[in-house]
Structure 1
Amino acid sequence: MCSLDKSYMGNRIYPKQLIKLDELQGNENAFCTKLFETLKNDVDVSDIAIEQRCADYRTVVYGDWNNDFLRYHFGDDGFWISVRMYPGIIADYEFSPLFRAQANKRQLHWRASIEPNEIGKLHDALVRSCKAFFGGPDCKKQKSSTDAELPKRRMTMRIKELAETSSDLTEVLKDRYTLLSQRDVILAGSNYHPASEKLRDGSVLTCVHEKDNPYDADAVALFDMNQEIVGYLPKNNKSKNAVLKAVDSGMPVKAVVINNGTDGGTRRKRKRIHLALVCREPNK
C-alpha cells in the first residue's frame, strides 16, 4: 500500500481517506488482493493507494493523487468496476465485450462487464491506464468512433462484436471473408428508399452491379435480406472498383451495417449509415 510520506502525494491524500487492505472484508478484500496480484509484475504496487473519496465507491490511485485509474463499488445493490480510459486504450477496447456495460464511450471512466474474481481479464487495460497518466503512446489523441470513418482494425472488432447478436451476420462469417475497404463507407441514397429505415447495426446487405442503371453504368446497389433496395455505394468511393471486380467475377460482396447513426448537424436530421464491405475469400 502507498505510504503517506510519498513526495508525489504531498498533502492531497488525507489519513481518513486511505483504506488499508487489512481493513477490507470478505469479497472486497479478495478482490483488492487479486487486483494487487494482477498488477505486481508490471507496476510498483507500493505506489497504489485505495481511497474513500465519496460514499458511492472506492477510488484506486497510482503514483499521483489525480491518477485514479480504477473505481469500484461493493454493496447490497451489487458490484461494479470502472477503468480510466485514455485515447490509445480506447482504440483497442472500444468494441471489446469487456466494456459492454459502458454505453457512453465518451466518458473518462468505463464500466467493465466482469465479476470481482475476473479482474485478471482487465490486466492489460489496467496496466496501461496506470502508466498513461505519466505519458506515452496511450495518451495520444485518436479519432473517435463517432467520426465519419473508422480505421480498418476497429471495423474488424466491430464486426466481431455485432456477430454475437446478429444471426444473419454469423451466417455470413461462416465462410472466410476479407475487408474490401480500409475505412467504412457511408450508404448513399438511403433517404429515398424506405427499406433503409429497417436497418440496424449488424444488418447484412448484398452488393449488386446495376449495369442497366441509366445514370451510372457502374452503380452498385445494396439490397437487404428481403431483396429490397436500401441505397447505393457512393459514386466516387475508393472501394467501388474492388467491389465491381469481385461482383462481376462471381464473388459475393456483402455490406455490414456497423453504425446506423444520425447526423444532427443539418437542419433536417439525416441518417448516416456506416458500412463495412466484405468479400468471401476464394477457395485455394
Structure 2
Amino acid sequence: MHILITGATGLIGSELYKHLLNHHRVTVLTRSPSRAYIKLGHRIEAIQNLDEVDFNNVDIVINLAGEPIVNKRWSEQQKKRIYDSRLNTTDAIVAKINAADNKPKALISGSAIGYYGRQGDVEITEDFSHCYDEFSHQLCRDWEAAANKAQTRVCLLRTGIVLSAQGGALGKMLPAFRFGLGGPIGDGQQYMSWIHLDDMVQLIMYLIKYEHISGAINATAPKPVNNEEFSKTLAEVLRRPAIVRMPAFALRLMMGEMADLLLYGQNVQPQRLIDEGFRFRHPELKPALAQLLNRN
C-alpha cells in the first residue's frame, strides 16, 4: 500500500514509520526534509506540500502532525499555534481526500484523551459525552470534527500518555526520578491514562488492517493508574525514592494554565479496542516501565 504520514518525525510517527517501511510505500509530509532524512533515513519519500502527492494513488493517510502541546507556556498566541497547526493540516488533507476520484481507504487522524477534559476518577469509554469544556476539549473536538469531514473511513486516535524512554512525558520525568527527586504532583490522585509506544504503533497497524473499524478509539492501556501510583511505580523500577512532591501552586507558577494537564486527568478505558479483540503487549504499568527501562 501507499501510505502518507504527517508528523512522521514525532515520537509516534518515527516508530510507526519503521514498521511500515518494509511492507509499504511511505510518503512523509514534513516542513524539513533534511531533518526527516536525518531522523528516518534516506529511504523516505519526503514532501513539503500536499500538492506533491496524488491522492488518487494513496491508500491510507495517517495524520499525526501538530505543534507540541507542552513545549511552551500557553499564552493565547501559543494556544492559537497549537490549534491552527492541527486544524489547518487536517483541513488541507480532508480537502485533498474529498477531491480525489479514487479516494484513500482511510484517514487515521490524531486526537487525545484531552477530548474529555478533566474528569476525576469516573471511568470513561468512547461513548462518554459529559466533557469538561476547556482548551484541551475544544482543541480535540474541533480537530476530530475537521477529520470527520473526509469522505472515507475515519479513525480518531484519542491518545493517552505515550510511554517511551526516548522522549515524550516519560523522557521528561526520567532525569528527576533517576536523581531521586521525582514524586507525585499535587495530591497525586489524578488519573494518568497511558500507553506503551509499542502498543500505540501496533494499534495503528491494527486499524490499517481491519477496515470495519471507524470513529473514536481510546488509545490507552486497559489499566490506568493515578499519579501517585505512577510515581511510586516508576521510582520502584528505577530503584529510587519518590518522596519529593510537587505542590499544585508551584506547578501553576511555572506552567500557568498548562499545569491543568498534569493536575487533572481522565480514567480512560480502551473499550472499542477490547471489544474488537486487540491484544495489548503491555497492559500493566510496572512491566511496561521495566521493559522500556530494561529493568527486571
**What TM-score do the two structures reach when normalised by structure 1?**
0.23
**What TM-score do the two structures reach when normalised by structure 2?**
0.22
* Larger strand share, 1 or 2: 1
- Structure 1 or 2, whichever has the larger Rg, is 1
